Amino acid sequence: MSILLADIVGFGAIAAIWDVVTGEARDIARVILAIHLLFTSAFVGGSRSRRQL
């Protein structure tokens, strides 16, 4: 189940990045993409720090 969820989130992130880069996205999509990337980096950082403990 977690692999399926990760695939869906990854596909959505790539689609959002592609739309922003090509200029097809709405202005709010740029803001949402930035927030999404910040949350993703926070989760990655949190999981790495938890593994070091």
Q: What is the mean pLDDT of the chain?
A: 77
Average pLDDT over residues 27-39: 80
What is the 8-class DSSP label of residue 23?
T
- Residue 23 belongs to domain spanning: 2-52
The residue among 18, 13, 46, 10 whose CA lies nearest residue 32 is 13
Q: What is the pTM of this model?
A: 0.53
Statement: residue 3 has pLDDT above 70: no
**Per-residue tokens: 16:** 């959002």
Per-residue pLDDT, 24: 83
CA 36/CA 40 separation, integer angstroms: 6
Q: How confident is the model at residue 11 (pLDDT cuts 50, 70, 90)?
A: confident
The structural domain count of the chain equals: 1
Quick one: pLDDT at residue 6?
Answer: 74
